[in-house]
Amino acid sequence: MSDKSLHRYPLQLDEDWHVHSTYSDGKGTLEENLSAAEAAGLTLLCFVEHVRKDSDWLDAYIKHCAHLRQGSPLEIKIGVEAKFQDEFGTLDCPELTDEIDYVFAADHRVPLGMSCYCPKDVKQWIEQGMITKERVILGIVNATCAAMKRYKNIVIAHLFSILPKLGILIEEVRLEHLMRIAECARETNTPIEVDERWCAPDIRTASFLYLQGVQLVASTDSHISRRIGKYHHVANVHSALSRFSKMHSSQTVDARFHIQADNDAKETLVPAA
């Protein structure tokens, strides 16, 4: 396993860190995905497939990826995507070997306590006053941070993509939660992907993470070969980050962002003028 692809700060648009094939729910084969990545002029492609504890095709998948890696002009990475199972960051994945370069931790369900729940149910519980939005956000943040500490070679997939399904706005995520995620990512050297399919994280959150020194990586989360390496949301994030990196180096992160308390005394991030 190599992590030489990391620290190419900031976001590289000639890379795609998250594409699915027919090994899980993608429409293209690994070969078709690789051809599409070459046609798109990418320099790095990370194959990623959904796994569960009982996935029994992992060996064949790894061998297949490793075979395609031979002689490829692209840097090929082998990844899997697993969902949180609880608030303690446990991922629903089989035993992971060193041949797997990255494990993408995904918020497909809502981790609360010892279990995880369907977003539709949790949305209903919020509407019925059975649980607060703050508690639900805390569950997602706890699981995200715990997974970073618990597993090596983890990538956080489409951070907060589950919020819209729960009727929660990104603005409702408190600054202290974003700080915790940024600190954990930095301490554990965990990249966070900027995902085209889910437009997650949004520009504001991605900018905050970037300014906090978190490594961001570009991904389409594509399930169709022709979408590989094609960016719109990720390109917008890239433009925003490029503006930050052009700013004078004497300007600190604190100067670029300040915290403004609104009427509800919620902390809101506002780019400094």
Q: Which residues contact Zn ion (rule: CB under 5 A)?
A: 81, 106, 221
Shortest CB 20 distance to Zn ion, Å: 6
Shortest CB 264 distance to Zn ion, Å: 32
Residue placing its CB nearer to Zn ion in the complex, 221 or 257: 221
Shortest CB 155 distance to Zn ion, Å: 11
For residue 48, what are the β-bridge partners?
A: 79
Residue placing its CB nearer to Zn ion in the complex, 36 or 211: 36
Shortest CB 50 distance to Zn ion, Å: 7
Residue found by looking up tokens 């369900």 in the block: 109
Residue placing its CB nearer to Zn ion in the complex, 5 or 219: 219
Rounded Cα distance, 49 and 133, in Å = 30
Shortest CB 236 distance to Zn ion, Å: 20
The answer to whether residues 50 and 104 touch, using CB atoms and an 8 Å cutoff, is no
Residue placing its CB nearer to Zn ion in the complex, 202 or 221: 221
Residue placing its CB nearer to Zn ion in the complex, 200 or 209: 200
171: region left, alpha or beta (phi > 0 left; psi from -120 to 50 alpha)? alpha
* Sheet strands (E) in the chain: 15-19, 44-50, 75-83, 102-106, 110-112, 115-117, 154-156, 192-195, 216-219, 257-261, 267-271
- Residue sitting closest to Zn ion (CB): 106
Eight-state DSSP code of residue 219: E
